[in-house]
Structure 1
């Protein structure tokens, strides 16, 4: 797998986990009554938090595993299980109902003041663990291990993928009124469930790859690392 394929795989995995399009209804409900400028500032704060948090685990994830004596295949399998559970929930549940009561009316004096106050309310549980949860952290750690094959360039490519996902997340939240109108409730449900299905498939692939590393001849190489 080359660097471009690595970038695409990592981007797709994080995109499916963070699910910016599927979280548009939650963001719209949490910022109801806000001015366009206030909504944009909230989106920028959330995206910046996501980038810093994910970058931390991107650069320290493998070291943390070494400190606790956890092998990468073991973490890959555990992360795959978590991803599968999250993806399964995405294909079955309506995430918008959980945050329907998070809306606030009233507008603070300035857009940035509104954004700071709303961000303090949305750090938990919206920014974490809904956007940046165990699945996203596990994915960052797993792909950080894969990036070592490319050296420093691989770390830069992974960091670029994280930045790209965070940028797309911010843009989706900026366009939340338009996206909500275009897709409608049925379209939003379809997007969330399709991304959940992709996430389940990625989770199964993580488990297969982990099993291939800890066993001999149990998993065919073409299955553990397809499309090579």
Structure 2
């Protein structure tokens, strides 16, 4: 890939994945967790998202076509799942589940958002997947693909750095501030989920 193409690929992926916008969502989804737990979740989410984006970049179009799933249908499904997560954030269902299982000190955490919704659909959402499919289609040869992989890893490294900085945000806001932000972000997530669904339906001609 040429230098200008690398810059374009980096900018596109950065805007689509939106690390600054994901940081507060990561904070809300990992509320009350320790720093090691957050680090482990951030690592898992990043690795899963990288694997998904690379996999779809290489085989996405063929795979979706083979099993009869369109990108609009994928977007609608992601929107529905994201909306359910937004309801959990709005009504503190995750916190109640934690309290119900808090009898054992060393019990496993009852909520791990690393795969869903962090890796999918927040990081590797329909937009990022479609972008990877498009960018891979524009590359030439193994060298071009390797350059694109390097660009993706750079964006994901920045995203991971934003995730790790979320603890500073939590200490600055305190428990009350985090609770308020969690509700607000739940509303934003619900709106984002509805937008995903509308975008998918629009592609089928069901929405204006």
TM norm structure 1: 0.60
Mapped to 1, the partners of 2:129 and 2:82 lie a distance apart of: 18
Within-5 A mapping of 1:121-132: 121-122=108-109, 125-132=112-119
Kindly indicate whether residue 36 of structure 2 is the aligned counterpart of residue 41 of structure 1: yes
Mapped to 2, the partners of 1:199 and 1:8 lie a distance apart of: 20
Mapped to 2, the partners of 1:141 and 1:131 lie a distance apart of: 14
- Aligned residue number for residue 9 of structure 1: 15
State whether residues 20 and 159 of structure 2, in contact with CA within 8 Å, keep that contact through their aligned partners in structure 1.
yes
- Aligned residue number for residue 136 of structure 2: 148
Q: CA RMSD in A?
A: 4.1
- Aligned residue number for residue 153 of structure 2: 159
Q: Deviation at 1:56?
A: 1.0
Q: Deviation at 1:46?
A: 1.4
Alignment partner of 2:30 out of 27, 42, 61: 27
Runs of 5+ in structure 1 lacking a partner? 32-38, 108-116, 212-217, 219-228
Report the number of matched residues.
190
Mapped to 2, the partners of 1:157 and 1:206 lie a distance apart of: 28
Kindly indicate whether residue 76 of structure 2 is the aligned counterpart of residue 81 of structure 1: yes
TM norm structure 2: 0.65
When residues 154 and 200 of structure 1 are mapped into structure 2, their CA distance, relative to the original with a 3 A threshold, is farther
State whether residues 61 and 144 of structure 1, in contact with CA within 8 Å, keep that contact through their aligned partners in structure 2.
yes
State whether residues 82 and 190 of structure 2, in contact with CA within 8 Å, keep that contact through their aligned partners in structure 1.
yes
- Aligned residue number for residue 96 of structure 1: 92
- Aligned residue number for residue 36 of structure 1: none
Mapped to 2, the partners of 1:5 and 1:91 lie a distance apart of: 28
Q: Deviation at 1:59?
A: 1.3
Give the 4+ runs in structure 1 shifted more than 6 A. none
Q: Deviation at 1:147?
A: 2.1
Of 42-51 and 150-159, more deviation after overlay is shown by 150-159
Runs of 5+ in structure 2 lacking a partner? 140-144
Mapped to 2, the partners of 1:145 and 1:196 lie a distance apart of: 27
When residues 5 and 199 of structure 1 are mapped into structure 2, their CA distance, relative to the original with a 3 A threshold, is farther
